[in-house]
């Protein structure tokens, strides 16, 4: 992917952002045209009421949608929802999303019972400039995740222009992500542009000290990213379940904690790389353990060299929280991906919640790498106090790990 670099802001808050050499919705004429917009409306629902519990992903797409509406475009939205595995699942229809989007926009949002076929073609044909239509869940068709060319062509036939504004799914070569771009003029939406610019600039020239905070269950998900940031960050803090693999690599017994045995050698290499690059890699000094990760379990704080057999690491301990806080307080740039423990269980969410609240007070550029970390930030009501919260967990990790994203590569280059 070709990038150029530009300055943003003014001293002393100057930082470099990537400016991706791809066309955006600003670069094409959309007036009166049928514009297919791939969005990521995979929002969480309350299992009991079916109500949307977090509409951030819907709101994140508003700048692109409103831009198109202001230019009298016929807006046709495409999204996946959940994991229906190629079958129609009634609980995974996009009706609640359309209802919420309609409330936010203050205008009707029409829906269809499928995303291809005669009913959809009729609905698109009936659209007038300024109308919004949300097609049904793309993943009701197995062809979507397979990247099927015929399915992509069928979707493309519904529009005149394609806009990708679904950063969170752009690391997948799905039919609606990279396939449609083979048949229509394809450009980036404002959310996609913002994600790439912000995350690209994060590694290009961050203000130092730069600290990366990692958690979550698996080291394997973050190996490429960990390797890519060596020499670019000053400090790496490791918490969450992935800390167990690093602790095992250092020779500690971690009880019943899940360890990626095939990653231990890689963890050792990363520790050596940190030393070589003069990166301060900080592991937990104490942890909260219990026999099982459920709401009835009572946690026990132990030193990492005294983890009992049959007990598993479920959160970082108070000594580790303090050590992490000290590093974060002196940071000018912070990137965080992955919770420090089982954040959905209150007694194992202390590390995650404490650090989240601290980040909201820092006079630093703070970037959250999507996923469960972003959900925690939203749940605590801290989103507005963080510099940038990515909408893409896996996509942000792959992009920062140096991978090209199929959904970005497929877009038209600027001339």
| pLDDT value for 392 | 87
Q: Tens digit of pLDDT for each residue in 282-311?
A: 999 999 999 999 999 999 999 999 999 999
Indicate the pLDDT class of residue 15, thresholds 50, 70 and 90. very low
Distance between CA atoms of 256 and 285, rounded to whole angstroms?
A: 18
SS3 22: strand
Distance between CA atoms of 188 and 131, rounded to whole angstroms?
A: 21
pLDDT surpasses 90 at 121: yes
Distance between CA atoms of 266 and 272, rounded to whole angstroms?
A: 10
**Domain range annotation of the chain:** 3-195, 206-400
Token pair for residue 4?
A: 């150029």
pTM of the predicted structure, to 2 decimals: 0.88
Q: What is the dihedral of CA 352, 237, 321, 53, to 10 degrees?
A: -10
pLDDT surpasses 80 at 12: no
| pLDDT value for 16 | 36
Indicate the pLDDT class of residue 203, thresholds 50, 70 and 90. confident
Token pair for residue 14?
A: 């100057």
Q: Tens digit of pLDDT for each residue in 369-406?
A: 988 899 999 999 999 999 999 998 889 989 998 888 99
pLDDT surpasses 90 at 263: yes
134, 97 in Cβ contact below 8 A?
yes
Structure-model confidence comparison of residues 2 and 148, the more confident one: 148
Q: Tens digit of pLDDT for each residue in 309-319?
A: 999 999 999 99
Token pair for residue 6?
A: 């530009």
| pLDDT value for 182 | 97
Indicate the pLDDT class of residue 367, thresholds 50, 70 and 90. very high
Q: Assess if CATH 1.20.140.10 describes domain 206-400.
A: no
Structure-model confidence comparison of residues 60 and 14, the more confident one: 60
Q: Tens digit of pLDDT for each residue in 240-260?
A: 999 999 999 999 999 999 999
| pLDDT value for 205 | 81
| pLDDT value for 393 | 84
Query: How is 261-273 classified by DSSP, letter by letter?
Result: GGGHHHHHHHHHH
Q: Comparing 3-195 with 206-400, is the CATH topology the same?
A: yes
186, 412 in Cβ contact below 8 A?
yes
| pLDDT value for 19 | 53
pLDDT surpasses 80 at 8: no
Q: In CATH, what number does 3-195 get?
A: 3.40.50.1260
| pLDDT value for 17 | 43
Catalogue the active-site residues.
57, 218, 371, 394
């Amino acid at each position: 992917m070709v990038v150029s670099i530009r300055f943003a802001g003014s001293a002393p808050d100057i930082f470099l952002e990537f400016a991706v050499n791809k066309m955006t919705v600003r670069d094409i004429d959309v007036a009166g045209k049928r514009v297919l917009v791939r969005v990521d409306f995979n929002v969480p629902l309350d299992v009991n009421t079916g109500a949307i519990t977090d509409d951030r992903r819907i709101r994140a797409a508003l700048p692109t949608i409103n831009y198109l509406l202001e230019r009298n475009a016929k807006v046709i939205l495409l999204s996946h929802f959940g994991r229906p595995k190629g079958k129609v699942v009634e609980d995974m229809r996009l009706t609640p999303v359309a209802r919420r989007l309609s409330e936010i926009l203050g205008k009707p949002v029409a829906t269809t019972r499928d995303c291809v076929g005669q009913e959809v073609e009729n609905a698109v044909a009936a659209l007038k400039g300024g109308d919004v239509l949300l097609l049904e869940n793309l993943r009701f068709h197995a062809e979507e995740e397979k990247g099927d060319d015929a399915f992509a062509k069928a979707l493309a036939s519904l529009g005149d222009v394609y806009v990708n504004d679904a950063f969170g799914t752009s690391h997948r070569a799905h039919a609606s992500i990279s396939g449609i771009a083979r048949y229509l003029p394809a450009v980036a939406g404002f959310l996609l542009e913002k994600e790439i610019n912000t995350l690209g600039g994060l590694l290009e020239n961050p203000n130092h000290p730069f600290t990366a905070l990692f958690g979550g269950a698996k080291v394997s998900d973050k190996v490429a990213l960990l390797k890519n940031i060596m020499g670019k960050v000053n400090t790496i803090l490791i918490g969450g379940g992935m800390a167990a693999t690093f602790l095992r690599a250092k020779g500690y017994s971690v009880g019943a904690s899940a360890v990626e045995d095939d990653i231990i050698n890689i963890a050792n290499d990363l520790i050596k790389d940190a030393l070589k690059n003069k990166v301060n890699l900080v592991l937990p000094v104490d942890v909260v353990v219990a026999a099982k990760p459920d709401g009835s379990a009572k946690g026990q704080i132990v030193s990492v060299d005294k983890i009992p057999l049959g007990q598993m690491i479920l959160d970082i301990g108070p000594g580790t929280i303090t050590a992490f806080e000290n590093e974060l307080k002196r940071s000018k740039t912070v990137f965080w991906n992955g919770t420090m423990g089982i954040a959905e269980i209150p007694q194992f969410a202390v590390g995650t919640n404490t650090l989240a609240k601290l980040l909201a007070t820092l006079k630093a550029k703070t970037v959250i790498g999507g996923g469960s970390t972003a959900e925690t930030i939203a749940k605590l009501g801290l989103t507005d106090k963080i510099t940038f919260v990515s909408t893409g967990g896996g996509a942000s990790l792959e992009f920062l790990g140096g991978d090209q994203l199929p959904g970005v590569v497929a877009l038209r280059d600027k001339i």
